[in-house]
Structure 1
């Protein structure tokens, strides 16, 4: 349901309240002082000498990388341009007037204060879950653009990351590997006994009496490739304007999305930071309540009263008298027979505080920079027995190779060619995929050696096998003979 235009539908201001709006709408001009009129031609004032950002290089894009590799360093002083006056913030935006927040009536109102033309003719049913009306969507064109952020809207805009240039002396380090351990027959038997003890319905005799015929050792390799990625996005956001200092375009040109310094606390740990882009803040009238500070109450639709939910608006309830064995009407004690009740959401006023501006009438708009640090992980398991490969990922093993660099090289000299091939594939995939998505801060790849032992055994007339794997000696025994102890009763 749309709202009426601001010029109609609301009670006139009482004497001593807020001044009537000037002809043509908008805010009344500030009395004396304030900011000087804008320069002819509109737009932002020209930057002071030495301030702001230098003109872009011919051809556009990012500046050429510095020698030494890596990403170009931020501007001196943390990447922020100097302001035109002392301090990081300027006084309030020219033309911005701080309004007193709208305050709902205290207590209960005898008559509703909302008199818009969208009030229904009858009291509605009481709905305690009625949600506040979101109001119209904001019009970004009224906020005005900011230099360097013309593409920014209400949804995330992702600026391209700076180009990576490897250092001149970036050479591949040597590959060094460690070795794993073996498994004895007694360790295999103990692992099976422990496995059976963890399953209440498994019989113990096969685990205690089985005869091990052969132990076939093998090794599974779990290769993990990680890319620690930084991505940035910007969008317009708003917060209620409560008279706080406004750092707007009058203070200088805003820094670029990748010029704002933001560092993570730990590598390879997900983290999100949200930062207000300097010199982008503006004050605008609230689009949701048209600058009134209140909205029509969603529960009573502005009438201040609702139908009694106990008697459904009838004022009485139908009761059965067991003594007379007859039905009779009984006055509803909730509404005292009126069939109507004062709305508890608005106290009978018909108005509620705007949920967008929190009654402040104005909004502070600014461009928000969201910096995400994400650990992007891919892995592959090389395991050549009939045991499921997925069991290897969570099993304990020995790290036999690990390398952490800005860019890693794939493994090429390992004894297992399958590990070499999958390392080559995952490294290429991560580099090609995530260089376009953001800035790669670090890469790390790890190779774990997970021991796997296939054990052939016999118990009575049964010949089968089980596997012991991982440093914890976990057991995978899908063909265990006694998987039910026959002591369970199926109800």
Structure 2
């Protein structure tokens, strides 16, 4: 270790952070002592507040089945959106049945914040080295305003009072590095004659028959500014705090015997029956459909147990939707088929009976 007389701060050998043990004396950063970083466990978890009130039994649960006209229109638009679909089934098919299969979807979202640290560096541009001028704030004390709730976001923050100045480990404090284009030679093969010194009929005029030309990237010098320190020779080394806000979302769909795959409902919306968020939620006990109550109890327990171990839970939200699902039976060319119209978007899912293969030349 050397002492920088101008800065009055420690300057460490190229390619290394502060020596092992330096940060072992900083409360809250003991795991940085070996030169690496890592995850920091969150503060004590919150406790759930009063239970959310489930929807009332008197609430209107019904969603009227769509009309044949709406079902046919949705099917025609579906067929028209696929260039390889023959329009005949959608236009000429005869609807024979309309079955509503309205489906409950329960969703839980757990919005968490996690914090981890690691060594980082940047070109030194005159910033003072503040290591040990004051006690460094502990990882969960560093101010990091969260984004909007239930929004994924990441912030990289330099931890105050952990910065030191060191020689650049890439260029050994020279400020330069071999040119990446010519590999430090200063010249490269002529692009006209490809290094031969001749064209098809004459000597190459661009390189004067040498087969080489000066490298335009480094202007023939063979070196360029070091990419790590940007030619400044020194780096500001510090502990960097990574703060990650993550929305963990999980759905449970009550099967209604329609035959439609659950994945087909992932991108549609329905009639919102319940929505509530708290720091920590309670399960929706007493919901009119017991399958929703059971799913809520299981998922709330699993989320709180899983994510509280690795992060701080900032907010939870649970919703229940009733998604309209219509199973439409129809006949085309004497054969029976069906399709589904789902969600407020009236999205169609179907095994279409008349397709062709398009070849793009």
Superposition TM-score, scaled by structure 2 size: 0.83
Pairing 1:242-391 to 2, within 5 Å after superposition: 242-249=125-132, 251-319=133-201, 330-384=202-256, 385-391=258-264
8 Å Cα contact 1:233/1:370 also seen in 2: yes
Alignment partner of 1:175 is 2:54: yes
Superposed CA offset, 1:331-373 (max 9, x none): 2112112333222232222322111111111111111111111
Q: How far apart are the structure 2 equivalents of 1:360 and 1:144?
A: 28
Alignment partner of 1:196 is 2:81: no
Q: How far apart are the structure 2 equivalents of 1:297 and 1:348?
A: 9
SS across alignment from 1:151: helix
8 Å Cα contact 2:273/2:322 also seen in 1: yes
8 Å Cα contact 2:110/2:249 also seen in 1: yes
SS across alignment from 1:428: helix
Q: How far apart are the structure 1 equivalents of 2:8 and 2:313?
A: 38
Q: Name the counterpart of 2:326.
A: 453
Q: How far apart are the structure 2 equivalents of 1:337 and 1:183?
A: 82
Structure 2 unmatched runs, 5+: 81-85
Q: CA deviation at 1:313?
A: 4.1
Q: Name the counterpart of 2:16.
A: 139
8 Å Cα contact 1:456/1:466 also seen in 2: yes
- Judged with a 3 Å threshold, the aligned counterparts in structure 2 of structure 1 residues 290 and 197 are, in CA distance, closer, same or farther, namely closer
Q: Name the counterpart of 1:421.
A: 294
- Cα root mean square deviation, aligned: 3.2
8 Å Cα contact 1:219/1:383 also seen in 2: no
Q: Name the counterpart of 1:239.
A: 122
SS across alignment from 2:171: coil
Q: How far apart are the structure 2 equivalents of 1:366 and 1:255?
A: 13
Pairing 1:54-65 to 2, within 5 Å after superposition: none
Superposed CA offset, 1:192-248 (max 9, x none): 2331244242225544xx364x54333211111100000111111111112123322
Q: How far apart are the structure 1 equivalents of 2:229 and 2:170?
A: 8
Q: How far apart are the structure 2 equivalents of 1:397 and 1:188?
A: 20
SS across alignment from 2:301: helix
Q: CA deviation at 1:280?
A: 0.3
Structure 1 unmatched runs, 5+: 1-24, 35-91, 97-135, 320-329
8 Å Cα contact 2:10/2:165 also seen in 1: no
SS across alignment from 1:292: coil
Aligned residues: 345
Give 1 or 2 for the bigger CA radius of gyration.
Answer: 1
Q: CA deviation at 1:318?
A: 4.5
Q: How far apart are the structure 2 equivalents of 1:287 and 1:279?
A: 22
Superposed CA offset, 1:408-444 (max 9, x none): 1222212323222222222122112111121000011
> Which of the numbers 252, 269, 278 marks the counterpart of 1:396?
269
Q: How far apart are the structure 2 equivalents of 1:419 and 1:189?
A: 33
Superposed CA offset, 1:95-114 (max 9, x none): 66xxxxxxxxxxxxxxxxxx
Q: How far apart are the structure 1 equivalents of 2:235 and 2:167?
A: 6
Pairing 1:49-128 to 2, within 5 Å after superposition: 92-94=7-9
Q: How far apart are the structure 1 equivalents of 2:174 and 2:359?
A: 71
Q: How far apart are the structure 1 equivalents of 2:229 and 2:317?
A: 46
- Judged with a 3 Å threshold, the aligned counterparts in structure 2 of structure 1 residues 361 and 462 are, in CA distance, closer, same or farther, namely closer
Q: How far apart are the structure 2 equivalents of 1:490 and 1:360?
A: 54
Q: Which has the higher strand share?
A: 2
SS across alignment from 1:378: strand
